[in-house]
Chain A
Amino acid sequence: MNRITQKFKEKAADEKLMSLFITAGYPDLESTVEIVLGMEENGADMIELGMPFSDPLADGPTIQYSSDIAIKKGITIDKIFEMVVEIRKKSEIPIILMGYMNPVLRYGVQEFCDKASRSGVDGLILPDIPVDEDEIIREYAEANNLPLIHLVAPNSSDIRMKLADSKSSGFVYCVSVTGVTGARDGKEVSDSVDMFIERVRENIIGNPVMVGFGIKSHEDARRIASNADGFIVGSALINTIKNSYPKPEWKQELYSLVYSLKFGN
């Protein structure tokens, strides 16, 4: 069974799974494997490994910044596959690659899906591939048992939510607000999110739902994900690294945040 599906199967009824996004190769190429394993030890249930792109148009300044740094340090798709292979030697945590289509296309879609699967990748999130365009990769992803995880947003119609559900496996990614990625004031997110998740629950019945965008604390997560199967945090982690790297305790600061996101203080 796919590791993502397995994870949801094992989840306790009242538990919220925590998926954590970090940019591969940020803050440096050497740390990625170690911090993925460290985040797992501190409560991460799934990992989204960002594949940096020069022009990340769905991302806010935080992830743009980390992507620029990783590209400057020499990150490539092959290096990301090597990282996944290293993680797989020590861990069975589900790993999802998240990034824009152009680097995948340039790599070769078929070869990308083949190598991703063989390296131990469990799924793909491609924010610039809406369901309407996913045939560019679907055949190759399916041939390699690589789930495509689609996104829905508060302005998605019921029909599009159902479409995303039918074309996704693993889970459906619910974007809590219309906007780019980035940590926000929790209140800003929560006002309308309940109605949105309620509508998501009515329309998305074939997959678990994870909610992301704008979560930066355990309280945010509890409020925003109260009716979801779990939550996703990204920019808040990158911000913490940005503020503490390369101080000796930077990893510890990251892990403290990870622990508190999952379990509270």
Chain B
Amino acid sequence: MQEVITKYQQPNARGYFGQYGGKFVPEILIPAVRALEEEYERASKDPSFNSQLNELLDEYVGRPTKLTFANRLTEHYGKARIYMKREDLCHTGAHKINNAIGQVLLAQRMGKKRIIAETGAGQHGVATATACAKFGLECVVYMGAEDMVRQKLNVDRMHLLGAEVRSVESGSKTLKDATNEAIRDWVTNVEDTFYIIGSVVGPHPYPMMVRNFHRVIGDETKRQIMEAEGKLPDYLIACVGGGSNAMGFFYPFIEDESVNIIGIEAAGFGVDSGKTAATLTKGTPGILHGSMSYLLHDINGQIELAHSISAGLDYPGIGPEHSHLHDTKRVDYHAVTDDEAMEAVKLLSKKEGIIPALETAHAFAWLENLMSTTTENQVVIVNCSGRGDKDMGTISENL
């Protein structure tokens, strides 16, 4: 095992990861975020909460998910051995359900009967609608009008699961505006409503709590790779929009200095094209949706429209912990374009029989840059965060 050299303890008691995070919300929401913070603290130390959560993850979500050796992809590059952490095999087709189940259990503990959520690609909306159906809770999902067109299949799934999907017509009609609208709903209905945030963003305690609900991804990966290879991986790669799959995957490895950790943002048409979602690459620190983090914004501090072929990465912000890991250089962040992601969809489909989500394809696309620098005795693990069925419309148009 690696020697632990630096102790990583983030966030601090005020919800800051280094200088990022915090609770930048209207006073009306302070009682709600405080109550959530306290309840989460109690629940995370409560054996009955954890056993109920673990039972649901095993029997309903289908955990642990497999760590699959990508033999033909490995052969294709002829360098390091490539593994895939199969979050695409989770119930509902992506990692998002880990967090949705966790937060629904918390909502139940707090006696909240009404659940709201925002969604971009629809995966978090579907995961939340699913968890609400399972527990018989009212569910309202805010989704940008533009995204409802791009991700019609997921809209239909949410309806079938009994959720109300509210079309958001303000601003860019995508994830950031859906998030604004969900926060407005929360401000208005704070007494009886629980807001399930779908990524490691928002006011404290959300970035910490969502990370912790997803750390099962990294914990399982660590155990599985030790069994398969008898050593820690040399590289971890995950895609980053808000950054929930990446944060859950990376977190258990942060103190393992020998592990190179790579987060891949969506460059859209290119990081300098003006049509990008590469927040860490092109952004600067600012405050949006309750926390301080890197943002894409203009010289006047107005939030810019992000662009990515993938609706799930199409967000002008990023989780505060990623901003911290970027500044401290513990994680390397890079960006790949829409076209590179599409090539990765095709390659993974043909070589491994896995059609990845467009978000996930961004992580696989980085192999094109990375693999030639690796050696045959090294190990690379890519987080296969979701499956691509939902993206077939977009994929077909771009083939």
* Residues of A in contact with B (beta carbons under 8 Å apart): 53-58, 60-61, 64, 68, 71, 76-77, 100-107, 127-133, 150-153, 155-157, 160, 164, 175, 178-180
Residue contacts A-B, CB under 8 angstroms, 19 given: A53-B302, A55-B171, A57-B183, A60-B184, A61-B170, A77-B300, A102-B295, A102-B303, A105-B301, A107-B301, A127-B26, A128-B290, A130-B27, A133-B22, A151-B26, A160-B27, A178-B188, A178-B190, A180-B187
CA distance A132 to B7 in the complex (A): 27
Main secondary structure of the interface of B (DSSP, over half): mixed
Q: Does B374 contact A (CB under 8 A)?
A: no
Interface residues of B toward A: which range?
35 or more
Q: A-B pairs with the 8 shortest C-beta distances? A: A106-B301, A103-B301, A54-B302, A179-B188, A153-B28, A58-B26, A102-B301, A57-B183
Contacting residues, chain B, for A58 (C-beta < 8 A):
26, 28, 184, 187
Establish whether residues A55 and B176, one from each chain, have CB atoms under 8 Å apart when the complex forms: yes
Contacting residues, chain B, for A61 (C-beta < 8 A):
170
Q: Does B24 contact A (CB under 8 A)?
A: yes
- Which residues of B in the span 172-190 have a Cβ within 8 Å of any Cβ on A? 176-177, 180, 183-184, 187-188, 190
Do A157 and B301 form a contact, CB below 8 Å, given A102-B286, A105-B287, A178-B188?
no
Q: Which residue of A lies closest to B28 (CB)?
A: A153
Contact of A53 among B30, B170, B301 (CB under 8 A): B301
CA distance A4 to B286 in the complex (A): 30
* Interface hub of B28, B191, B302 (most chain A Cβ within 10 A): B28
Contact of B187 among A55, A107, A179 (CB under 8 A): A179
* Residues of B in contact with A (beta carbons under 8 Å apart): 14, 22-28, 30-31, 170-171, 176-177, 180, 183-184, 187-188, 190-191, 284-290, 295, 297, 299-303
Q: Which residue of B lies closest to A59 (CB)?
A: B184
* Interface hub of A104, A153, A157 (most chain B Cβ within 10 A): A153
Do A55 and B288 form a contact, CB below 8 Å, given A130-B26, A133-B24?
yes
Establish whether residues A55 and B180, one from each chain, have CB atoms under 8 Å apart when the complex forms: yes
CA distance A152 to B27 in the complex (A): 6
CA distance A231 to B300 in the complex (A): 31
CA distance A150 to B187 in the complex (A): 17
Establish whether residues A130 and B23, one from each chain, have CB atoms under 8 Å apart when the complex forms: yes
Separation in Å of the B337 CB from the closest CB of chain A? Answer: 25
